[in-house]
Amino acid sequence: MENWYSDNGDGTFTNPILYADYSDPDAIRVGGDFYLTASSFCNTPGLPVLHSKDLVNWKVISYALPNIPYERYKKPMHGCGVWAPSIRYYNGEFVIFFPMPDEGIFVTKTKDPKGKWSEPVAIFEGKGWIDPCPFIDDDGKAYMVNAYAKSRIGFKSVLSIAELSSDLTKMTGEPVKVFDGNLNDQHTIEGPKLYKRNGWYYIFAPAGGVKQGWQTVLRSKNIYGPYEYRVVMEQKDSDVNGPHQGAWVDTPDGKDYFLHFQDVYAAGRIVHLQKMRWVDDWPVIGEADEGEICGKPVLKMDKPVKTDGSDIFAPDASDDFEKDAIGLQWQWNANHDPNWAFPSAKESCIYLRSVSAEESISDQPNLFLQKWPAPEFTVRACISFDGLKDGDEAGIVNMGVSYGAVGVLFENGRYELRRIKGEQKFDHEAAFASDEIEIIEKDLFKTNEAKTVYFEYSVKRVPSDETNRDGKYEFPIPKETVTMSYSLDGEKYKPALTLDAKAGRWVGVKCGMYIRNMNGTEGGNLRCDYFRFE
């Protein structure tokens, strides 16, 4: 399939609403419009902003963070960078709080979510603070709730609240610990979102771990607690494991819903939507029998906002490069230089400029990447290599812990087709990898003067009876293979590389294109005429 469409066109939808790696989602409603943001780690532009009218059909409308504001992100820092953000709307401004576990907590703002966001301001500088969420109380006082990352600060499962300045740019009080999951059965509680209803303060926070956890809600009459808690959604007999971390949103007619993610391994963390109802001032999320206080995820239900079914869409994937701007489906592997890509609407193509090669292709900052948009799909791309200079290598790439590429090396007047593969290893937060390179064809263009290769990148589900029992429930582990093939005529394709797909460091597998210069000199460019999902 080209893309995953959740809207069934008959007034119902099927979860997930986004079969793509929009991890740690948070969302709000402003009037009749819904906005969502998500983690982006070391990929840029970062902090995607998505828009919907019905909570089911979503489009990316902007990114709040063009590049990450630290020098070290010129190179990929796998698993670091922008973690779980939150989005709010106050006094005519959209506000995103986002954490960087090695640098601190930051805020960016805008009046137009489709436009430019402000330069990030550090609310807190230091290691280990994560998952911030702002809140403005009825008396105008501002607060922030956050969690902690044990890998950076030495402890976890703790939630704190601190008072903020009225403009949400600095802390004015010391953090107060309001909940400690180490003292009860809520280990690894994190991702808190702070709300108020009927005089109660609520903290929605997942616990138990990403793949095998559950959704917890805390409540108190005092913002600093003490808080009581309940588990309000868990897997039960569904296949939706670890219903984890998200957002409470309501519709214009007063219905309540909850967005959360599910970790499906290679494809990353995909987004689901559940009904939510209130019983005795406690939320119950998903499907629950009368009297039950904890629900379970549901796959199919009525749409929150009725539409005529004629406008069904998903985030863009295919690109014929018919605009003079880079499509919002694309991200780079690290902080990027705007001169790395030149889209040409006049020529209906994009040119990617060569950058000096890193030791591993997985650490190449100028990988031009997309999220997987569906459980299975095939990409076909047409790439021309006439613009390569000596030492340039370019082609298609699969980026995950298991990575691979099929590309053309131009050296000493010859074009050589090569396959590259490797696997990232991690020591604490540092990634290490080394490319294994094999030659497929030594003289690729003997009979092809156009110097064009048609590539195919195919993702297929393979049978698997493997399950995960790390936790209270058992759930299936999906398996996918990635096959990269090539053709000189666009009709007959030869397989070049097959990999077992493995997610990246906290991110799903991405696919795309690359160009690097193996001689460490100024290189040329590749030209891509289309990158189409089928």
Domain boundaries, the chain: 12-302, 331-533
The DSSP code sequence of 136-185 is E-TTS-EEEEEEE-HHHHS--SEEEEEEE-TTSSSB-S--EEEEEGGGTT
Q: What CATH class is the domain 12-302? A: mainly beta
Tell me if the domain spanning 331-533 has CATH number 2.60.120.200.
Answer: yes
Q: Is 266 helix (H, G, I), strand (E, B) or coil?
A: helix
Per-residue pLDDT in tens (0 to 9) along the chain, 534 residues: 679 999 999 999 999 999 999 999 999 999 999 999 999 999 999 999 999 999 999 999 999 999 999 999 999 999 999 999 999 999 999 999 999 999 999 999 999 999 999 999 999 999 999 999 999 999 999 999 999 999 999 999 999 999 999 999 999 999 999 999 999 999 999 999 999 999 999 999 999 999 999 999 999 999 999 999 999 999 999 999 999 899 999 999 999 999 999 999 999 999 999 999 999 999 999 999 989 999 999 999 999 998 776 789 999 999 999 999 999 999 999 999 999 999 999 999 999 999 999 999 999 999 999 999 999 999 999 999 999 999 999 999 999 999 999 999 999 999 999 999 999 998 877 888 999 999 999 999 876 678 999 999 999 999 888 888 766 788 888 999 999 999 999 999 999 999 999 999 999 999 999 999 999 888 899 999 999 999
From residue 135, give the alpha-carbon distance in Å to each of 33, 125, 281.
20, 20, 19
Q: Does pTM top 0.75 for this prediction?
A: yes
* Beta-carbon contacts of residue 478 (< 8 Å; ≥ 6 apart): 264, 265, 266, 267, 375, 461, 464
Sign of CA pseudo-dihedral 113, 119, 121, 126: positive
- Same CATH topology for 12-302 and 331-533? no
Active site residues: 24, 190
Residue whose structure tokens are 């406008």? 311
* Strands laid side by side in the 228-233 sheet: 193-197, 200-207, 214-220, 228-233
Beta bridge partners of 282: 279
Q: How far is CA 290 from the centre of its chain?
A: 36
